Every structure is written in structure tokens, then in C-alpha cells.
Structure 1
């Protein structure tokens, strides 16, 4: 049984998402080991989403609620959150609806910015991490692999994501009203991961050429060399931060990497060296009297910025909110960006959802057929064992030309055709047990425990997930 516990920008506060994201790496193993029914767990954590996909081994008629509640307690224990608070927040998706939900997530249909490009990679890396930790299962593996395939199909066949929409680009769009000339803007990029690469590309698309990079983990030199920009060391980061017109942070650090003290230190260094604080070609007094909405003006290299915009794309937060206590500093964080997310483009979104829904139904039908695989194996083995015995008797009685064997094999195929067709029909209707009961009553055949799926049992089955069950709250 597949189950998804989901908290996102749609049902959870930013503070809760921040706590969940900060501890996501430890959540999968803790969930996997928390209850005997949990066979696997894959955790997807992004800047606006925390989801745990579970594979439960639950007997027919057995409630999954105890295992789910234990999973929630496990998440709460690593995140420092009360289980009751999480139960009241988490959405609960189960059955065939899990595939449809994950396909929509991976395709960017559930993102703050519909069609964002980063989410597909985050989903893929979640599976890779689960494989490394040993917390995935064959069913979860197939589900996540299929999600990656569907996200690529949505991107290729619809307008979703064609403009490279992302939280990064939305943040820079919101910054437009504060920037007079991107080409003359000095930027400090904090972080060297995928988000940093996307941020740098988006900045260059707007004409920014003066970008320096700092990495709390010490990877700035390599990133700078690969992207043709300047690296900032730990010893010079305060001065670089104070002189930047725009600071963009996007690291996975679990602590604030930019705060008031850092900016104050950088500014104090400039004051001690007698650097001019006035904007290039401007008047310091006039600038101080300007309204807070004054657009940024490029500064000389050896002076601190008169106005600074700090864009915090990190989760947990990379920037301490106390930076806004400094004169001229404005903070744009994920919570603010989320409020300004654009509405969906309905045409492209409808087409994308049609692809997702169709793929989810196909995945569900194939998975339901796989649920019958042990019984199919048992029936085919029973029939072919009888067939082999009759063929052997025919040979001992003189079937020299093989015509009797050919006739027996043809008859066996004809006899199996209708049961195989009915197995798929009943599986798709969710009535697998009726077929299992039927072959037990007629042939005395029952699926063996742990029967393996082979080519004969698959009988044309393919990977795919279905729409079906709906999302609800646990509380």
C-alpha cells in the first residue's frame, strides 16, 4: 500500500516547512525503522514542500493508521514538532492517488510557481538518497522513476516550464522595481549548489556581469572557476556583502550565513578605511532622504552599497531577519515570494494535468495487475504442469510427429486466454480477490507466499499509477 504524507505552501506555515526541511535527511531512515509495517520511505523536501512517501505492508482489512501515526511521530521527533500539530497539518494521500499526486509534484503543477524547473531534479535526488540509505522499495522505485518520465513528458508536450519559470526567476521579477540597471548591479551569490547555478543564469539573463560567490562550505573557488566569476573567501565575505547591491543566498546551511553583524562588520571596515558611502555620481544626503522604494544605483567598487536588497532563497533561512534593522537594507524571502506567485496559465496547466491524470491511471492499472501476479503465476504453473504430463504420456504412446503435443499446447493457450483477460479486467476494477477466489474454487490453486513475478505472470503488464483515492487531512 502506497501512502503520501504531505505538507506544502498550501497547508503549512513557513516556519513548519523550515523545520521539516532542515531535518529531512534524517527523516527517511527514522520513518523506515519506526513501524514493522513500513517497508520503505522516500522523503521529498524542497523550499515549499515536505512529503514522505511510504510503502506499507498491510494485510487485507488491516488499518494503516497505526503505521501512519508512527511515521508522523518519527517526523516530529527529528524536526522537534509535536505529532498532534503535524497530524492536523499533513495531507494524506493513499491508494492510486499517490501516483497522480507525485506526478503532479514532479511536473511542477503543485509548486508556488507552476511549472518551475527545479522540482523534477529534487524529486529525482530524493529517490537517489533513499537508495543510498536503503529505505526505498521496488514499488517506490518504480513510482519515482515514472514520475521523472512524466515530468519530462509534461515539459516537452505543454507550455509548462518552457520559460524556465522558477522561484529564482520570480524573486528577480519582484526585484525589478528596486533595480534601475541590472548591468551596473553588483551581486554577491551565497551558495554553490543547483539553486546557485540557476540564480546565476537568471542574473545573467538580466544583464548582470558583476557577480561574486561565497560558499560557507568552502566550494566557492571551484564554482567560480567553472562559471567565470570571482570567489570570495571567509575573510573577505563581510566586505563583499557590504558592497553588494544585491545579495542572493541559496545554501543548505542550517544556520544564518548573512546577518546584521556581518553587514555591520563590512560597513565598519569601509568606514575605517575612509571609503565614500555616497552612490556613484550622487549625493549622500539626498540618498538618505529618499523614500525606501528608491531604486538601487550601482556603487563604486570600493564603497558599501547605499541600498541593499537581500534575496533569501534558502530553507532553512539563510538570512537573519535582523538585517532589515540596518539602514537601506530590504529583505525578500521565500515567504514574501510565495505571496506574489503568479496565477496558473490555465491552457498549459490543463494539458499538463491531462497527461498526469492519464499516466496515473495507467500506473494504477499496471500496479493492480502486478498485485495478481503471484496468483497468475500459480495458475499458469498448474496448467503447464498438467500440460507437460500429458505431452510426456503422448510421447510414450507414439506421438512421433508432435501433432498431439501441438494440439495440447494450443488447447492450453485457449483455456488460459479468458482467465488472463478476466484477471486484468478485475484488477482494474479493484476486484483482484474475486479472481483469486475463483481460481482457488475451480482449480484448487492458490498463490504461493512470496511468488516471484516472471515474464509469464506479467503477461503484458507495464509500470504506470492511478488516480483514485483522494487527499484528506489526518487530524
Structure 2
């Protein structure tokens, strides 16, 4: 059984999202060890959402509430947040609604900026992280692979995402009214990850040529070399920040990389580097009155809000960007949501057929066991030319055809139980729960498969 619980910009504040995102690593493993029914977990944590996708081993008809509460308690322990507060915040989905939700998320339909390009990669990397931690399952694998396929289909068939929408680009659009000439704007980029690359591309699209990069983690030189930028050394960071017209931060570091004290120190260093008037032997450092824009794209927050206490500094953070997100383009969005809905239905159809796999295997095995017995009797009575064997195999194939077709139809209608009960009532065949993942092919000897496929 698939379950999803989610906190996003739609139902949670950025303070909570920041806490959850900062502690997301290791949450999946904690959820699995926290309750025996949780077989797998994949966590998607971004700057505006935290989602946990669970694969539960539940007996048909058994409530998943206890397992879900256990998983939420595990998340709360990791994040240092009260589990009751999380339960009242999280949105929930189960069954086929899980696929519909993830497919919409991966396609950018649930983002602050509808159609943003980064989310598809974040969803893909969430699965990769689950691989490394050993927390995924075949069903979660299938779910996330279909999500990636659906997001590509949405991008290729609709206008969603075709303009390279992202939080980065929206932030720069909001900054337009504050920038006189991008070509004359000095920018300091703080961070060297994927968001930094996207930020640099968006800045260059606007004509920015004066960009330098600083990395709190020490990767600035490598990023600078690969993107033909000057790197800022740690000793020169404060002055470089004060000298920039625009500062863009996009790191995953859990502490502030910029605050009032740092920026004030940089301004003082700049002032000392210029020729200043003196009164007696004391230099007089005038307050720098030029405007500075700080764009904080980090989660956890990269910038302390106290930078706005300095004259001329304006802060544009994720919460501000959220409030200015554009309305959806209804035509393209409607088309995209229809693609997502079809993909979710197809995912559910296949899942239903997989649920019936043990019963289908048991029925086919039962029929072919009977068939083998009749063939042996025919051979013992002189079926030298094999015509009786051929006829028996043909008849078995014809008899199984209708039940196989009906099994798929009933699975698509969500009526798997009707098929399971019918097989047990008519043939006395009951699937072994332990063989739920067994494929039809694996249940038959190779010589039997060869005869059946030929018939």
C-alpha cells in the first residue's frame, strides 16, 4: 500500500519547511526502523515542500493509521518538531491518489512557480538518495520512474516549463524594478550547487557580465573555473558582499552565510579603502547610501533578516517570492493535469494487475499441473504422434484465455477481490501470500512454457 504525507508552501509556513528540509537526510531510514509495516520510504525535500512516500506492508483491510503515525513520529524526532503539530499540518494521500500527487509535483504543477524546471530533478535525486540509503522498494521505484516519465511528457506536450520558469527567474523578474541596467550590475553569487548554476544562467540571460562567486564550503574555485568566473576568497568575502549591487544566495548550509554584522564589516573595509575626509587624525566614514538587493533562495535561510537594518539593503526571500508567484496559464495547466490524471490511472491499472499476480500464478499452475497429468496418461495409451498432447495444450490455453482477460478488467475496476474469490470458489485455488512477487513465467518449467507458447 502506498501512502504519502506532505507539507508544502500551500499548508505550512517556511519556518517549518526549513526545519524539515534541514533534517531530511536520514528521515527515510528512521521511518523504516520505526514501524515494521513501513517497508520503504522516499523523502522529497525542497525549498517549498517536504514529502514522504511510504510503501506499507498491510494485510488487505487493515488500517494503515498506526504505521503512518509511527512514520510521522519518526520525522518529528529527526526534525525536533512535535508529532501532533506535524499530523495537523501534513496533507495525506493513499492508493492511486499518491501517484496523481507525485506526478503533479514532478511536473511542476504544485510548485510556487507553476512549471518550474528544478523540481523534476529534485524528485529524481530523491529516489537516488533512497537507493544509497537502501530505503526504496520495487513499488516505490516504479512510482518514481513513472513520475519522471510523466514530467517529461508534460514538458514536451504542453507549454508548462517551456520558458524555463523557476524560483530563480521569478526572483530576478521581481528585481527588475530595482535594477536600472543589468549589464552594469555587480553580482555576488553565494553557492556552487545546481541552484547556483541556474541562477548564473538566468543572470547571464539578462545581460549580467560582472559576476563573482563565493562558496562557504570551499568549492568556489572549482565552480568559478568551470563557469569562467572570478572566485572570492574567504578573507575578501565581507568586502565583496558590500561591493555587490545584487547578492544571490543559494546554499544548503544550515547557518546564515550573510548577516548585518558581516555586511557592515564589509562596508567599513570598503570605506577604509577609499580616500576619506579627516577631522584631526580621525577618518570619517560616510554611510554608504547606494542600494543593495539580497536575493535569498536558500532553505534553510541563508541570510539573516537583520541585514535590512542597514541603509539601502532590501531582502527578497522565498516567502516574498511566494506571494508574487504568477497565476497559472489555465489552458496549458489543464492539459498538463489531464496528462497527469491519465498517467496516474494507468499506474493504478498496472498496480491492480500486479496485486492479482499471485492468484493468476496459482490458477495457471493449477491448470498446467492438471494438463501435465492428462498428457502423461495420453502418452501411456499410445499418443505416438503427439496429436492428443497438442489438442490438450490448445484446449488449456483456450480455457485460460477468458479468466486472464477478466483478471485485467477487474483489476482496472478495482475489483481484484471478486477474481480472487471466484478462483477459490470454482477451483479451490488460493494464492500463497509469500509468493506475491512471483511471476507467471517463474511458476512454469521451461519445457512447459515452450509447449504453451507454441500452442
Counterpart in the other structure of 2:348: 364
Q: Does 1:318 align with 2:302?
A: yes
2 CA distance for matches of 1:455 and 1:252? Answer: 47
- Count, aligned residues: 434
Counterpart in the other structure of 1:226: 226
Counterpart in the other structure of 2:198: 198
Q: Does 1:249 align with 2:233?
A: no
SS in 2 for 1:4: strand
Correspondences of 1:75-94 after superposition (within 5 Å): 75-94=75-94
Counterpart in the other structure of 2:438: 453
SS in 1 for 2:294: strand
Counterpart in the other structure of 2:446: none
SS in 2 for 1:254: coil
SS in 1 for 2:434: coil
Contact 1:220 1:231 in 2 (8 A): yes
SS in 2 for 1:230: coil
Correspondences of 1:64-463 after superposition (within 5 Å): 64-274=64-274, 306-451=290-435, 452-456=437-441
Q: CA deviation at 1:400?
A: 2.1
Q: Which of 93-102 and 382-391 deviates more?
A: 382-391
2 CA distance for matches of 1:197 and 1:394? Answer: 73
Contact 2:360 2:440 in 1 (8 A): no
Q: CA deviation at 1:455?
A: 4.8
Q: Does 1:50 align with 2:33?
A: no
TM-score (norm 2): 0.93
1 CA distance for matches of 2:139 and 2:237? Answer: 47
Counterpart in the other structure of 1:28: 28
SS in 1 for 2:365: helix
1 CA distance for matches of 2:236 and 2:392? Answer: 84
Q: CA deviation at 1:457?
A: 8.6
Contact 1:376 1:457 in 2 (8 A): no
1:416/1:45 CA distance change after superposition, 3 Å: same
1 CA distance for matches of 2:40 and 2:190? Answer: 35
1:410/1:258 CA distance change after superposition, 3 Å: same
SS in 1 for 2:271: helix
SS in 1 for 2:174: helix
1:362/1:309 CA distance change after superposition, 3 Å: same
Moved segments of 4+, more than 4 Å: 455-458
Contact 2:357 2:440 in 1 (8 A): no
Contact 1:243 1:305 in 2 (8 A): no
1:305/1:145 CA distance change after superposition, 3 Å: farther
1 CA distance for matches of 2:98 and 2:28? Answer: 18
Contact 1:244 1:305 in 2 (8 A): no
1:375-395 C-alpha deviation (Å, 9 max, x unpaired) = 111111111111122222222
Counterpart in the other structure of 2:450: none
Contact 1:245 1:305 in 2 (8 A): no
TM-score (norm 1): 0.89
1:419/1:22 CA distance change after superposition, 3 Å: same
Q: CA deviation at 1:189?
A: 0.4
1:217/1:348 CA distance change after superposition, 3 Å: same
Q: Which of 310-319 and 256-265 deviates more?
A: 256-265
Structure 2, unaligned stretches of length 5 or more? 278-285, 444-455
- RMSD of the alignment, in Å? 1.6
2 CA distance for matches of 1:393 and 1:187? Answer: 87
Counterpart in the other structure of 2:447: none
> Which has more helix, going by share of residues?
2
Contact 1:213 1:229 in 2 (8 A): yes
1:306-351 C-alpha deviation (Å, 9 max, x unpaired) = 2110000000000000100111100000000000000000111011
1:36-82 C-alpha deviation (Å, 9 max, x unpaired) = 11011100011111000011111122111111111111111111111
Q: CA deviation at 1:275?
A: 5.5
SS in 2 for 1:235: helix
1:189/1:340 CA distance change after superposition, 3 Å: same
2 CA distance for matches of 1:361 and 1:14? Answer: 33
Q: CA deviation at 1:449?
A: 2.7
Q: Which of 267-276 and 155-164 deviates more?
A: 267-276
